[in-house]
Amino acid sequence: MTDKPTFQREAKKHLGQHFLHEKGIISKIVQAVDPKPGDRLVEIGPGQGAITFPLLDRHGALTVIEFDRDLIAPLTEAAKPHGELTIVHADVLSVDFTALAGDSQIRLVGNLPYNLSSPILFHALEHADVIRDMHFMLQKEVVDRMASGPGNKVYGRLSVMLQAYCRVTPLFKVPPGAFRPPPKVDSAVVRMVPLPRDQIAVNDRKRFEHVVRAAFGQRRKTLRNALNGVADSAMIEAAGIRPDARAEQVDVAGFIRLANLPAA
């Protein structure tokens, strides 16, 4: 079953736009978010308002971040019967979520442009202290990578970096036909809940990122070779990891232990 959007604009390919229109999927997303009174909801990329208006109907107020200038006026007009819509016209990567949150926490929602999904995820991580949770639609392949564990062929840098700071839970798959125009890949909705600060074991975020990036940068190599100049064999062993292991064999806790050791 589909729901005709309140207004229609042709998707802009260079912005990676695919507008959601499947009513059943929209309902499942709103149900997954389950907004409560007092929540501060922020949607990234509202598009034609497929998720925006049902969230407004349910919650009454919503802030959206939209880069496409041509969508601002029609979104503003179409939102009036549904609730109070605040539009931030900006590239989401330039938005300071901490400033946007003020003295509260925000809940992020969005059908993310697939060509920018990883940068947006990492940008959100930088503001994890003010984010209560995130519900994002992404390419299914990306969601699989986000939630993957060691030993899986799609386990990689994205898996480790996100799981060190968040609980990542895939929710459900979304077929191409749920969008207009349909993408060439399956999509999926994922829930991310930032860990409380006292449950994050990483001592130095930059050092952790450096170690993980180096380890997976040459993933066919053993860690002894991939981490040359970053961590020597003695350090790798001190972290409880075999130097002849490869990055995809090491769990998130192992990378954290290694990055927390004093640099040689």
Annotated binding residue 18? yes
Closest among 259, 262, 263, 245 to 155, alpha carbons compared: 245
What is the SS3 string spanning the chain? CECCCCCCCCCCHHHCCCEECEHHHHHHHHHHHCCCCCCCEEEECCCCCCCHHHHHHHHCEEEEEECCHHHHHHHHHHHCCCCEEEEEECCHHHCCHHHHHCCCCEEEEEECCHHHHHHHHHHHHCCHHHEEEEEEEEEHHHHHHHHCCCCCCCCCHHHHHHHCCEEEEEEEEECHHHEECCCCCCEEEEEEEECCHHHCCCCCHHHHHHHHHHHHHCCCCEHHHHCCCCCCHHHHHHCCCCCCCEHHHCCHHHHHHHHHCCCC
Tokens in use for 119? Answer: 């940068």
20 assigned binding-site residue: yes
- Spatial contact of 130 and 101, defined as CB atoms under 8 Å apart: yes
* 24 assigned to a ligand binding site: no
Question: Binding residue per annotation — 111?
Answer: yes
Binding residues for S-adenosyl-L-methionine: 18, 20, 45, 66, 91, 111
